[in-house]
Each structure stands twice: as C-alpha cells, then as structure tokens.
Amino acid sequence: MTRPSHSEAPSRPRALSRPRARALALSAVPLVALLAVAGFAPLPYSVARPGQTTDVLGTHRGGEVISISGAPVRKTSGQLRMVAIQATAPQVDIRLGEVIDGWLREDRAVMPRDAVFPPGKSDAEIEKHNIAEMKSSQHAATAAALGFLKKDPDRVKVALRLEDVGGPSAGLMFSLGIVDKLDGGGSGGDLTGGRTIAGTGTIEADGTVGAVGGAALKTQAAKRDGASVFLVPKAECAQVQPAPDGLRLIPVTTLKSAVQALRALAKGGAGGSVPSC
C-alpha cells in the first residue's frame, strides 16, 4: 500500500480570481441593504411591559372599585390587586432594534400584534372593544361571586368601577373582591389574611377561570407593588416560572379553588393545603 509522503508541503489556499471576488462582493450588497431596510421598516409586533396594579378592595380615582348594596358589607384589610400589562398600540411603528431589545430584556415581551389586538381596527375601535370586554367580565365576575355565595342577584346589587383598564383579565380578582367584602374568609376573618394578594385570570359566570396573556410580566408588576402571593390560571404555571423572589405562585382553575386556597393560606396553609406552581 502506498502511503502519502509526510515530506510534502501542505497546499496553500488559492486567491480568488478577480471576477469571482467581485461577484461575492456584489452579492453581499443586497444582504446589507436588506438588513438596513429591516432596521428602519416597521414590524408587525407589539412590545409589552409590566403595567399598573389596582386594589379592587380599595378606591380608584375617588370612588370605590367595588360598591355593594342589598347586603351587609365587611370592612376589609389586606389587598386584592388586579394586574395589567402595557403594550404598544397597533398604530405605533415597532423597529427591529426595539424587537431585539424586547427579546433580550426580562421585563419586556415581544408578541405578534394580532395576538394582542384585534386585527384591522383603529386605536379607538380597539379601546371600545377592550372596554366592552371589561364590562362583560364585570358582569360575569358578579354572577360568579354571588352564585358562589348563594346570594340573590335580584336583592344584592354590585357596581364595579375601573374605567381606565380594558380587557377581561381582571375577572377573577373582581370576583374575589366581592366574596371578601360579603363573606371574607368564611369565619369572620379576611380572605386575604391581611396580605397583599395579586392575580390574573378571566372568569365565567359559572366560576371557571381562564388563561390570559402576559402572565409573566404581571408577576413582575405584582412584586413591584408589594404582593407576596400571585394567583395564576393553572394552565399558565409554566409561563410564570421562575417567579420573582418572594412571590408565591398559586394555581387556580375556578373561583372556588381560589377561595379555598386563600382561606387555607390565611389559616397558615397547614398540611400542604395550598397548591403551588
């Protein structure tokens, strides 16, 4: 068998011919131009960040968030804070640099614009849509809470006031606020146990809790505003991991499961009776 000679010098790379080098240089021009255009062209994304939190047991803009008539109302302690995210409006142009920055930051989320806002609508139409969803959510929250407490909706009247937040994701917290004001923890104490509880989740009239968007950003807003506990739809537990330091995550599927978890937590959570993500 003939073996290769180790005395042979290694072959040297040959220089590109001028025509080929020129062709490669010219082919790079469209790529550079494409990147330059992408850097300045608007992209179909929305960048979200942690938004405001509001204590539904308290006041907002001079009035009670939850007003109840037709039944005795308890004086509460602690807080139940609904949480919102703030997203760039559909008419705002998002550039490549903002998208990259959003991907790199933990306090930002980049989402397809159509996943955040109804497509093809103006800012005014979207605001109207969000307000309608909030009103529908408030009606469902009232029905769920009164149904859970077995209160007659013809006798007990609930008014919910939170005009500057749209969408359905405060439903769970509205229901819990009504329950706390009417019944507390069920044995004379507060449903909150004196804590600052935050959370998110839609609510159906039968008490079913639904998933929402931006849950991970909402945990950051909750921690920022003093919450030690965050209620999250069970289906979104993975999305909120890891939680901000010092924030306990409790998964819920129904209004009943949320009330049971908070009552157990108020009693000290003995025996592992409080679920966790």
Which structural domain range is residue 181 located in?
52-85+133-272
Q: Is residue 194 within 8 Å of 77, Cβ to Cβ?
A: yes
One-letter amino acid for residue 212 of the chain: V
pLDDT digits (tens, 9 = 90+) for 7-59: 343 444 444 455 554 454 444 544 444 344 445 567 788 888 999 999 999 99
Q: Are 229 and 251 in contact (CB under 8 A)?
A: no
More confident site: 204 or 129: 204
CATH number, domain containing residue 60: 3.30.230.10
**Adjacency order of strands within the sheet including 248-252:** 109-112, 45-55, 79-87, 196-199, 229-233, 248-252
Cis preceding-peptide flag for 242 (omega within 30 of 0): yes
**Whats the size of the chain, residue-wise?**
277
Residues sharing a CB contact under 8 Å with residue 62, sequence separation 6 or more, in sequence order: none
| Beta-bridge mates of residue 59 | 64
d(CA 256, CA 260): 6
Q: What is the DSSP letter of 164?
A: T
Residues 205-223: tens digit of each pLDDT: 999 999 988 899 999 999 9
pLDDT in tens, 148-163: 999 999 999 999 988 7
243: in domain? yes
Model pLDDT for residues 87-146, shown as the tens digit of each residue: 887 778 888 888 888 777 888 888 787 777 777 777 788 778 778 888 889 999 999 999
Contacts of 52 (CB under 8 A, 6+ apart): 83, 84, 86, 165, 221
pTM (two decimals): 0.79
Within a domain: residue 115?
Answer: no
Angle (nearest 5°) at CA 209 between 206 and 213: 145
Q: 227-248: per-residue pLDDT in tens?
A: 999 999 999 999 999 999 999 9
166 within domain boundaries: yes
Structure-block tokens of residue 44: 């179909």
Residue 196 has a CB neighbour count (10 Å cut-off) of 17
pLDDT number for residue 40: 54
Nearest to 189 by CA among 259, 250, 252, 246: 259
Tell me whether residue 108 is in a domain.
Answer: no
- How many domains does one find in the chain? 1
- The verdict on residue 178 lying in a domain is yes
Residue 266 near residue 185 (C-beta atoms within 8 A):
yes
Is residue 6 very low, low, confident or very high in pLDDT (cuts 50, 70, 90)? very low
Residue 207: predicted pLDDT: 97
| 78 lies in some domain | yes
What would the two tokens of residue 76 be? Answer: 């509460």
Gap between the Cα atoms of 241 and 219, Å rounded: 10
In a domain, 232, yes or no: yes
What pLDDT is stored for residue 33 in this prediction? 40
Instruction: Check whether 193 has a pLDDT greater than 90.
Output: yes
Q: What are phi and psi of 8, to 5 degrees?
A: -75, 135
SS3 127: helix
Using CB atoms within 10 Å of the CB of residue 245, give its burial: 0 to 12 exposed, 13 to 18 middle, 19+ buried: exposed
Give pLDDT, residue 90.
75
Contact between 170 and 134 (Cβ < 8 Å) = yes
What's the confidence (pLDDT) of residue 242?
93
